[in-house]
C-alpha cells in the first residue's frame, strides 16, 4: 500500500503525535511516503479507558470527541487500537514492488496523533528558526531532516515534560486509513482525491487543514508535503504483525 498510501496515507503512534514534514519534495502525487508525527503517552490514559471495549463505530466517534492541545497549539486526536491490511494487493494496478505483500497488522494501543502537520510557527516556537523554503506561519514546516526532527522532539520534551516521538510506518498508515479498506480513506473514486489532498505540481504548498479530514479527523494525509516516520525503509513482512517497529537497518 505504499504507493496507494503515497497518494493518500501512511502510518503513526500512541501518546501524542504531531506531523512533521520532509523538506524539498512538496509537490508529488505520491506525497507522504515517509510520515512524520510526534508522540506522547501520559495524556492518553483516560481517553484510552473510554475507548477500549467500544465498537469500531463508537471508537470513531470517541476519536472525534477526544483530543488534546499542547502549549504551542499542536492539536492531537485519539486514534483507537485495531487491525488493518497494510500494503496493497497484488491485483492493484497502482502498486510498486515495495508495497507488497499486503498483510494484517494489529495496533494494540490507542494513541494521540497530530490533527495537522506541524506548522512553521510551531517549529519556530520550539527551535527558534524556520528552515522552510516556502514560508508561511500556518504552512507545514519542511526542509527538515530526520535528525532535525529528533532535535525538535527533544526540545519539546524539555519544554513540556511530556514524551513525544515519531510514529512507525505501520502506525501512520493505520491512522491514515482511518478504518477504511479501500484505495483511499474516502473510498475508491480517484475523482474525490482533490477534496482531500493537494497533490498536483501546480498545487504547490498550502496552509494545513484546508482540505477535508479522514474519518478520524486527521488532515492532509493524502498530500501537501512528504512526512517522516520513525523506522528505517525496508521490505514488508509476509505474515501477521503486532505493533511492528520496522526494519532494524535500511535506507
* Mean pLDDT split into 10-residue runs, the chain, 251 residues: 31 42 32 36 47 50 63 90 88 76 92 90 95 92 89 91 87 93 90 88 81 94 85 87 85 63
In a domain, 248, yes or no: no
Percentages helix, strand, coil for the chain (3-state, rounded to 5) are: 25, 15, 60
Say if 251 falls within a structural domain. no
What does the pLDDT read at residue 120? 93
Pairwise CA distance, residues 201 & 113, whole Å: 28
For residues 41 and 127, the answer to whether their CB atoms sit within 8 Å is: no
pLDDT at position 162 is 83
| Residues in Cβ contact with 6 at an 8 Å cutoff, skipping those fewer than 6 apart | 28, 29, 30, 31, 32, 33
Looking at the domain assignment, is residue 190 inside a domain?
Answer: yes
CB 153 within 8 A of CB 145: no
Separation CA 148–CA 169 (nearest Å)? 18
**pLDDT at position 178, please?**
95
Find the radius of gyration of the CA atoms of the chain: 16
Write down the pLDDT at residue 125: 96
H-helix or E-strand spanning residue 146 = helix 146-160
Q: Is residue 245 part of a domain?
A: no
Range of the domain at 166: 2-238
pLDDT of residue 23: 36
Number of domains within the chain: 1
**Does a structural domain hold residue 246?**
no
- CA 26, 32, 36, 41 torsion-angle sign: positive
Phi, psi for 151 (deg, rounded to 5):
-65, -40
| Core vs surface per residue 172-201: b (16+ CB within 10 A) or e | bbbbbbbbbeebbbbeeeeeebeebbbbee
Nearest to 171 by CA among 223, 78, 245, 89: 245
Report CA dihedral (51, 211, 84, 88) to the nearest 10 degrees.
180
Q: Which three cell numbers stand for residue 46?
A: 483516560
Asked if residues 9 and 211 have their Cβ atoms less than 8 Å apart, the reply is: no
Q: What is the pLDDT of residue 44?
A: 46
Phi first, then psi: what are they for 68, rounded to 5°?
-160, 145
Which CATH number do you get for residue 29?
3.90.1580.10
Torsions phi, psi of 123, nearest 5?
A: -60, -45
Quick check: is 250 in a domain? no
Asked whether residue 51 is assigned to any structural domain, the reply reads yes
112, 14 contact by CB (below 8 A): yes
Residue 228 lies in a domain: yes
Amino acid at each position: 500500500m505504499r504507493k496507494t498510501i503515497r497518494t493518500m496515507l501512511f502510518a503513526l503512534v500512541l501518546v501524542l503525535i504531531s506531523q512533521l514534514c520532509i523538506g524539498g519534495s512538496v509537490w508529488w502525487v505520491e506525497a507522504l511516503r515517509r510520515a512524520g508525527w510526534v508522540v506522547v503517552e501520559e495524556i492518553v490514559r483516560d481517553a484510552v479507558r473510554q475507548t477500549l471495549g467500544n465498537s469500531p463505530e463508537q471508537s470513531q466517534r470517541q476519536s472525534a470527541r477526544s483530543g488534546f492541545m499542547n502549549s504551542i497549539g499542536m492539536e492531537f486526536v485519539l486514534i483507537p487500537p485495531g487491525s488493518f491490511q497494510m500494503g496493497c494487493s497484488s491485483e492493484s494496478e497502482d502498486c510498486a514492488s515495495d508495497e507488497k505483500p499486503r498483510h494484517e497488522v494489529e495496533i494494540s494501543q490507542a494513541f494521540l496523533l497530530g490533527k495537522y502537520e506541524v506548522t512553521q510557527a510551531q517549529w519556530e516556537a520550539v527551535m527558534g528558526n524556520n528552515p522552510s523554503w516556502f514560508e508561511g506561519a500556518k504552512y507545514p514546516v519542511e526542509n527538515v531532516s530526520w535528525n532535525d526532527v529528533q532535535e525538535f522532539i527533544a526540545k519539546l520534551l524539555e519544554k513540556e515534560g511530556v514524551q513525544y516521538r515519531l510514529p512507525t510506518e505501520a502506525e501512520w498508515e493505520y491512522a491514515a486509513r482511518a478504518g477504511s479498506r479501500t484505495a483511499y480513506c474516502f473510498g475508491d473514486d480517484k475523482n474525490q482525491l482533490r477534496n482531500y489532498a493537494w497533490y498536483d505540481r501546480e498545487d504547490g504548498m498550502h496552509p494545513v487543514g484546508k482540505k477535508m479530514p479522514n474519518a478520524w479527523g486527521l488532515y492532509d494525509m493524502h498530500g501537501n508535503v512528504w512526512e517522516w516516520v520513525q523506522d528505517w525503509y525496508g521490505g514488508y513482512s509476509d505474515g501477521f504483525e503486532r505493533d511492528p517497529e520496522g526494519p532494524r537497518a535500511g535506507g
